[in-house]
Amino acid sequence: MLPVSFEEWEYRARERLTNGPFDYVAGGAGGEETMRANREAFHRWRIQPHVLTDVAERDVTVSLLGHTFPTPVLLAPISAQAIFHPDAELASAKAAASLNIPFITSTAASRSMEEIAAVMGNSPRWFQLYWSKDTDVTTSMVRRAEAAGYTAIVVTVDFPVYGWREREVRNAYFPAQLQQSIANYVSDPAFRAKLPKTPEQDIQQAIGYFLRIFFNETLSWKDIDFLRTQTKLPIFLKGILRPQDAQQAVAHGVDGIIVSNHGGRQVDGAIAALDALPGICEVVQRKIPVLMDSGIRRGTDVIKALALGASAVLVGRPYIYGLAVAGEEGVAGVLRNLLADIDRTLAASGRKSISEIDSSLLVQERR
Ligand SMILES: Cc1cc2nc3c(=O)[nH]c(=O)nc-3n(C[C@H](O)[C@H](O)[C@H](O)COP(=O)(O)O)c2cc1C
């Protein structure tokens, strides 16, 4: 018997995981105000359903950069999934593939991007890039992603340093998780070429080099211009919260943006992602797709985000709770429920297709 509600998945995951991994997924930066704000932002919007609109034939497909996807949902990049379940990303990626939902592989995954691609067949996959200090390693990873059939690069831009996460500091958990987040590095020819001994001979030395290059505090718009010269794949920037930055992204020839505050894990006190979304959509004016994440828990949240201008959404923590509880079956269970909820909410709101959803469907709750 698998859970149905987000709260029960989280509760069951709490029972299965020790403090280290549970707090790693459930926690946020600082006092976790932004994590809470992400949810409160959804609560402030109410759906005002249409009636008598004949919703018998429904269509939840979305089109992004010329590709049609079966639903408006993608799986967010989440690092180190072996700490939640031994099958790690392979379970999540297989579950995504079974529903033809795009899976975004994290740079800091527990399995290499090639291993993950190998279990996905032709199902859509994007590669999330943490841009390291070593440009050889960064460009090598982009080459590998192209070769392994990833069809977009998602550059995470809200991570110049690791957020101040009090639960992780208390648990002193970060080192324990390191060994589970370097598969893409130890398998990378450019990374290996920088080590006197192979990672198999000396894993501590490999971890040392990983730590030296992983964070890149110097990242700037000129690096995005450089990436543009390095790949023909569409480039998304993940972690945009300011309209001016969205404008810059368009000006720099980026193909899409993801409005996100990293699930409240980076800047505590940062604006809720849903609150940032309308202002960003206003300046982007549909020149490029605007996706969003941070706080998506149910189908109604997806409908609200789409109504406020998102072309699609990323789901994060919910699928990790599914993974922790029941591996691939758990992730598939979470996704199936979410998709059913999206379809029901769409129809019960009197809308037949995602393209019929706009801000006229919502009213802001009066306090
Ligand atoms: C445990 C965990 C690990 C994450 N790892 C990454 C990562 O490797 N790369 C990345 O861009 N975002 C990462 N994120 C952020 C997610 O991609 C996404 O933005 C966030 O989970 C959205 O918030 P929500 O899950 O509360 O909806 C991670 C989030 C969590 C919870």
Tokens of 321: 């709770």
Q: Is the CB of 330 under 6 A from ligand 1?
A: no
**Residues 278, 309 contacting (CB under 8 angstroms):** yes
From ligand 1's centre to the CA of 66, what distance in Å?
26
Closest CA to 272 of 19, 24, 41: 41
Q: Is the CB of 156 under 6 A from ligand 1?
A: yes
pLDDT reported for residue 176:
67
Q: Which amino acid is at 129?
A: L
Quote the CA–CA distance of 33 and 27 in Å, as a whole number: 11
Q: Is the CB of 301 under 6 A from ligand 1?
A: no
Q: Is the CB of 79 under 6 A from ligand 1?
A: yes
Could you tell which of 22, 79, 260 is best to mutate to test the pocket of ligand 1, judged by most ligand atoms within 8 Å of the CB?
79
The model's pTM: 0.98
From ligand 1's centre to the CA of 293, what distance in Å?
9
From ligand 1's centre to the CA of 183, what distance in Å?
18
Could you tell which of 7, 238, 262, 297 is best to mutate to test the pocket of ligand 1, judged by most ligand atoms within 8 Å of the CB?
262
Q: Is the CB of 295 under 6 A from ligand 1?
A: yes
From ligand 1's centre to the CA of 263, what distance in Å?
6
Could you tell which of 25, 78, 113, 130 is best to mutate to test the pocket of ligand 1, judged by most ligand atoms within 8 Å of the CB?
78
Closest-lying ligand 1 atom to the alpha carbon of residue 26: 31
Which residues, at least 6 apart from 182, have a Cβ–Cβ distance to it below 8 Å?
108, 206, 207, 210
Closest-lying ligand 1 atom to the alpha carbon of residue 38: 26
From ligand 1's centre to the CA of 197, what distance in Å?
32
Quote the CA–CA distance of 79 and 197 in Å, as a whole number: 26
Could you tell which of 156, 237, 265, 277 is best to mutate to test the pocket of ligand 1, judged by most ligand atoms within 8 Å of the CB?
265
From ligand 1's centre to the CA of 123, what distance in Å?
21
Closest-lying ligand 1 atom to the alpha carbon of residue 238: 11
Quote the CA–CA distance of 174 and 80 in Å, as a whole number: 11
Nearest protein Cα to ligand 1, atom 10: 77
Nearest protein Cα to ligand 1, atom 5: 78
pLDDT along the chain (367 residues), means of 10: 96 97 97 98 98 98 96 98 98 98 98 98 98 97 98 98 95 84 97 98 95 96 98 98 98 98 98 98 98 98 98 98 98 98 98 98 90
**76 DSSP 8-state letter:** P
Pair type for strands 290-292 and 312-315: parallel
pLDDT reported for residue 69:
97
From ligand 1's centre to the CA of 24, what distance in Å?
10
pLDDT reported for residue 187:
98
Q: Give the DSSP letter string of 90-131.
A: HHHHHHHHHTT--EEE-TT-SS-HHHHHHTSTT--EEEEE--
Tokens of 199: 């990672």
Looking at the annotation, which residues are catalytic? 262
